Structure 1
Amino acid sequence: MTTFPRSHWGYKGLFYTRMVWIVLHLFLLGFEYKVHDWNWYVLLLSCLIVGAVPQLVWLKAARPWVYPVTELLMSGVFLIYCSYLIDDYFSYLAIPAMCAAANIHTARLRIPLWIWFSVIPAIAMTVVLPLSSFHIGIIEGFFFFTLGCGMRKMMDIEWKMQQLLNENERQRKVLEQHTKQVEMITLLEERNRLSRELHDTVGHTLTSIIMGLDAVSYLITEAPDEAIQNINHLRMVSRNGLEEVRKQIHHIAPSREVESLSVQLKRLAGEFAVNTATNIEFEAMGPEVSVPLPITMTLVRCLQESLTNAKRHGRAEHIHISFAVETDRLTLAIHDNGCGMDKVKYGFGLSVMQERIEAYQGELQVKSNKNSGTIVLCHLPLNTRKVG
């Protein structure tokens, strides 16, 4: 059983249609009844009462069956009474029958009311017309009650669809909150992983330097040349440790609340260019978009791995990066002028990159030729919202 609020558009439309119907019949009775005697005043007053009482019951009744039954009794009796006074069939039952049918919530009540709304016009006609005659109005109760049932069905479907849309919107909000929680958990896990790796890296490096400096403090007076060699070695260890710390820090996805994805990628490329003395060009195409944190981390790490491979293995001096926001996907392309390779081999770095991209239904393409550089293409589906 579907119960609509009284503010439902279907209820409002039928309510005001019935009101106009009553006013129209008041005017028709004024012209149809020729003699303005006391019967005429009684008839107009009856029409007004029969029109107003069901309207009030419609608004105030707590039980859904009260209005349809009230409509049947009052409108049915008025139809017979009015037809008798004017000595002709007076079509009145159409809109009341339709409104009653649209307000019936159960099939148990619908069937007997349907029968009675269909029988009443026939009773009214037997009062004013011979039994052998036929008037089209005899089917108005049956026809308009059927029409009201159809309208009730349409309102049922529309209401259920609206409820489903509301539930979908509620589920979307819950899912969005869940996604934010997952992103926060992912970020916390990444921070924990980073803290462990920094602890191991920094701790190991600093321990080696401290122990080396302790040894140098004894050698600086006894064997200056050996002390200088140890200092040079410790300098190299310090630089390697600093570079390792920088790599670990670069693993953190920049805050998306501060920078857009294209700005994050451009900044990462600029830092790499400064640290490695590499000529890097960055090009961004398309609108700024709000991208989920996992997607942002995937693209940031793909760019980092591609830049590292271009410099370390390809010995590239020039790298061109393009980031495109297309209708249905994001595309990150990294093209270097390094030494390239005859056959692309998916080592640990490329394999991890491919797994990350495919986890989000994306695609990784690596194209390379000997002495012709390498092109890395990262495609990810775009299911985001535009910023602003």
Structure 2
Amino acid sequence: MYILRKSVVVFKYLFLVLVFVDIHHGFNKKISIMILLFLFSTVIMINDYVRNKILNKNSKYKYVSLVFTICGAAVLKYFVRGLGASGYIFFSLAELFGVKGKLLKIFFLIHGTSFFIVSILNIGIPNTIDKLSNVGMSIVSYFAVASIIYSIKMIQVEKEETKQLNEKLKLANIKLQEYSLRVEDLTISKERRRVAQELHDSLGHSLMALTMHLEFAKKVIDSKPDKVKVVLEKSEKIAKDSVNDLRKAVNALKEEREIEHLNEAIKNLIDNFEIAGGVKINFNEDMSMDNLDINIKNSIYKTIREALTNSIKHGKSTEININMIKSNEGINLIISNNGVGCDKIIKSNGLNGIENRIGLLNGRVSYFSGKNSGFSIEANIPI
């Protein structure tokens, strides 16, 4: 969408340049009129720049500026005959379709009226078949161009809505992961029944509501790209799985989950985080890791889980690499991403939790980052 907007701006100013050329070509023998038209065109150009770059989106002056552009373009079309002025008058339509409510009707009426008045003035009173035909062609061409611009605008809006939906689904998936982790990490004590009821009342209802919303979304966006549908189906599955996990937890909360098959657990974790191509996670599978001590496997799993959550939620990463290397000295775990990074690392509860878990195994953790250089976690665990 950004590229499309830039292209529209480029073509808009290109047509203004053509207006200057047409003014010079048509009025080079009438210097005073040529200078006035040059000045008037320059004022319109400055007005457009101020409206698009300086004025606030909801400023009333922005609407005044848009009206000035519409009327100014009509004046240019009347005095300056040529492709430049004829094309430039349509560019304000693109902005016009961004206005909502009654204002859209008012602006469209102003634009259409200006166009038709100038067309009739240029063609003359339609008292002959030729003139009447020219007026008719002018009307048809106006609505044809308006329809094309409106269609392009609606496609832009749909793409933006799809993008926002993807972002919401990503955040929803991360929250699901976080909620699932809370259930997974609960240590059972004397408050078992109270915690189970609390989880059922809050997490259970929230996840069920999310499932219903995603099912509804899946029904109404069949016309959207297939990728979005895949996202919805995957998110729906994650939500239902989380509800099933919750019911199991409520029925019988057990001790902290133990990771038996580390590689399989990590791949399942990755599958839940990979949404519609929004993030790519590379993982080098090593089956020998499944033979490690249960405490080491649990710590590795939780470290990867925390790193994935932070990479997507805070780092805005699109690619994450997970490397596990086993040697005689120990395990070397490196998790890196291509996110925004930071110049100064401020340790959150999640990073402190990683250090504490690895520290209990006599291991050590290092962090590497830089602005726009991603973020890396390296953990070394002796075996």
**TM-score bucket (shorter structure):** 0.3 to 0.5
What TM-score results when the alignment is normalised by the length of structure 2?
A: 0.44
Q: Please tell me whether Structure 1 or Structure 2 has the larger radius of gyration of its CA atoms.
A: 1
TM-score between the two structures when normalised by the length of structure 1 = 0.43
